Every structure is written in structure tokens, then in C-alpha cells.
Amino acid sequence: MTEAAPNFESLLREALSPVEPPEDLTLRLESTLQSITELAADELEAWELSAMRDPRNWARPAAAVVAGGAAGTALVLLRARRRAHVDVSRRGVLGGTLETAERALRDIRRETRSRLLGGR
């Protein structure tokens, strides 16, 4: 009975070891989120306001708003996190919690503004 315990523990340790994600995962995720955002924007842009009088026509624009908003938000957060990670790795040490939070908020504001204003 005692022989099974070390074997069980080693099996658990092996099964629960961390797995590194693929190197290009961030780029693929960013590309996918960017295309979803662009598709949602194209869908909303092609929609005619006169068709909005009938509530039966609201499903597609509502879905485009939800999908585009979620993808855009995720894209903003992903890019802000990447910038924060680059800053930390460049410095080597985190500059304090308050400074990190302020920098993250500035990055999120800048990225959101560029998304809403189309890069202006």
C-alpha cells in the first residue's frame, strides 16, 4: 500500500506540470480578435438606418456590436498586457504597484482611443 503512494504522487506531479503555450499564440489571438473587430465594424457600416425601424432587423447589428465590442476590448487588454510585459522585462524589476497600474491605464486609454478614432 505504501509503494503506491510515491508512484501516485509522481504521476500527479507529472500530470499537473505547467505547459508552455506555443510561441505564436499571442500573434494568432491578436490576429483573430482584429479580424472579428473589423468584420463587426464592416457589418455595422453596411447597415442602413432606415432598416432599423423594424425590430426584427435588430439581431445582426446587435450581434455585431456585442462581438465587436468584446473582441475590441480583448484586443486592447491583450496589447496593454504585452506592453506592460515588455516594460517589465526591459526594466527587470516592477516599478511598484501604483506605477504599474497607472501605466496600464494609460496604455488601455491610448489603445481604446486609437481603436475608436481609427488610429488618429
pLDDT (tens digit per residue) in 17-52: 888 888 888 889 999 999 999 999 888 888 887 777
Q: Rounded CA gap, 64 and 48, in Å?
A: 14
Contact 45, 73 (CB under 8 A): no
Vertex 27: Cα angle to 30 and 84 (nearest 5): 80
Provide the CA 106 distance to its chain's centre, in angstroms. 17
Q: What is the model's pLDDT at position 50?
A: 75
Q: Which three cell numbers stand for residue 117?
A: 478614432
Stated pTM of the model: 0.59
Q: Which three cell numbers stand for residue 119?
A: 488610429
Q: Rounded CA gap, 108 and 113, in Å?
A: 8
Q: Domain segments of the chain: what residues?
A: 26-116
